[in-house]
Amino acid sequence: MDEKKDIKSMNLKELTEELASLGEKPFRAKQMYQWMHVKLASGFDEMTNLPKSMREACETKYTYTSLETVEVQESKLDGTKKFLFGLADGNVVESVWMQYKHGNSVCISSQVGCRMGCRFCASTLDGLERNLLPSEMLDQIYSIQKLTGERVSNVVVMGTGEPMDNYENLLKFLHILTDENGLNISQRNVTVSTCGIVPRMRQLAEEKLQITLALSLHATTDEKRRKLMPVANRYSIAELMKACEYYFDRTGRRITFEYSLVGGVNDTDEDAAELTALAKPLCCHINLIPVNPIKEREFVQSEASRIQAFKNKLEKNKINVTIRREMGRDIDGACGQLRRKHTDALRTLEETARA
């Protein structure tokens, strides 16, 4: 077993204490932190203003995570890029880079696989493999910034995985990501999306962060939600709404509701009326996502006219709503599809070899 500590997952205070135990002064910790989180060094050997002896000592004592770029897909429609990254243990994760008028946004994964079981989602089909370390979440952003040569200004934790199911690591990641000594991404430009793990949403509200919380709602009654999302068996919509209200009260941050429209399942006028009733009392924004069909499931997208009618109905009731632009539709756009294609291909190879 690997006993080495993961140096890139340490915040500056922890790193300072850690290096002090090796006899190093605090300014050395600051230099190293800058190499890791600002200059985005890919290993200790790049840290040329640190003494060689110190770098060698670190090499034996700590692991330094880095990602291997396995595949890059670029959308011909909108320039969106999708990356498949290899982790040290051979697992792969996917991340997406999107260019908007107001800056570049990266969507990262928080786990390898997922155990939440949402029926329309490709990321969860094989369950959870493992949690990602804070460093492995940071690395996705660092690698993309290096590969594209462009500064990342927005980060959304909306890739594979349920961030609230990897809470401690998520929190460490958020602190390092938004640290003024690191990449210094504004907390207001960071969004964490959850399928709705109520106690964690409440806990996050207490962390004194200015990040946006997005709730994947997708249905307006518990009965309907249970059919789409197993987590709805644990927490009711009433509890979710209370947790959202609490998050807003504690942070002053407007909540985002994600609502994936599935043809004939949750896209009727009645659904829109119920969604209005849920959203009205809260300070929120609704993001409508035309469901991205995956081959393992029957779900289909709502008709374009239905999506528009659904949106109009909400707007008429003064609900703040947008339809998510479908970025990278031509490049395995939905969560987990690229990783899945990769693991499917490996499986076929193994089966062929066995036959």
Please identify, among the stretches 17-25, 66-74, 82-90, 114-122, the one whose residues bind ligand SAH according to the rule CB under 6 A: 114-122
**98 forms part of the interface with ligand SAH (CB under 6 A):** no
- Min separation Cβ 214 and ligand SAH, Å: 6
Residue reference for tokens 């949402």: 118
> Residue 279: what are its φ and ψ, rounded to 5°?
-80, -30
- Min separation Cβ 111 and ligand SAH, Å: 9
Please identify, among the stretches 125-133, 142-150, 188-196, 343-351, the one whose residues bind ligand SAH according to the rule CB under 6 A: 188-196
Nearest to 342 by CA among 94, 136, 111, 133: 94
| Residue 105 bridge partners (DSSP) | 98, 154
Active site residue 74: no
Please identify, among the stretches 15-23, 50-58, 125-133, 191-199, the one whose residues bind ligand SAH according to the rule CB under 6 A: 191-199
**118 forms part of the interface with ligand SAH (CB under 6 A):** yes
Nearest to 217 by CA among 246, 239, 242, 237: 237
Cβ contacts of 77 within 8 Å, gap of 6 or more: 328, 329, 330
Task: Please identify, using beta-carbon distances, which residue of 24 and 258 lies nearer to ligand SAH.
Answer: 258
- Min separation Cβ 40 and ligand SAH, Å: 25
Cα 175 from Cα 28, distance rounded (Å):
21
**307 forms part of the interface with ligand SAH (CB under 6 A):** no
CB 109 within 8 A of CB 86: no
Select which of 118, 121, 284, 335 is catalytic. 335
> Residue 38: what are its φ and ψ, rounded to 5°?
-120, -50
CA torsion angle 323 324 327 333 (round to 10): -110
Question: What are 331's two structure tokens?
Answer: 């490049």
Q: Which of 67, 121, 141, 177 binds ligand SAH (CB under 6 A)?
A: 121
Active site residue 94: yes
**193 forms part of the interface with ligand SAH (CB under 6 A):** yes
Please identify, among the stretches 16-24, 94-102, 287-295, 345-353, the one whose residues bind ligand SAH according to the rule CB under 6 A: 287-295
- Min separation Cβ 119 and ligand SAH, Å: 9
The angle at the Cα of 171, spanning 46 to 73, to the nearest 5 degrees, equals 60
Which residues are identified as catalytic?
94, 335
